[in-house]
Amino acid sequence: MTTDEIRARICALVATLFDTEPEGEKPEEIILLGEGSHIDLITAFRLVLMIEKEFGIVIEDNDLKPDNLMSLPSLTRYVQRKLAL
């Protein structure tokens, strides 16, 4: 699976959570976790579960950190690494 395919699938999941994309922002600019985040902790947990199901991966507790899940690009890189294992 290519990086663009992974990103597109994650974008679709994020859009589902918001029921649309946040106004005026490109998916790459959406902050998923941390300061300026658009989602609360429960929504972040839902996103993790959706990603696990969509990609058939398990996101370990020790991987639940901003470096992996802060933005669409970081989340895409994380999923790509998990799929490569």
Q: How confident is the model at residue 79 (pLDDT cuts 50, 70, 90)?
A: very high
Q: What pLDDT was estimated at residue 71?
A: 85
CB-count exposure of residue 31 (10 Å: 0-12, 13-18, 19+):
middle
Q: What pLDDT was estimated at residue 29?
A: 65
Each residue's pLDDT tens digit, 8-65? 999 888 888 876 555 555 656 667 776 767 677 788 889 999 999 999 999 999 998 8
User: Domain residues of the chain, as ranges?
Assistant: 3-84
Question: Thinking of the domain 3-84, which architecture would CATH place it in?
Answer: Orthogonal Bundle (1.10)
| pTM flag (> 0.75) | yes
Of 3, 1, 26, whose CA–CA distance to 75 is shortest?
3
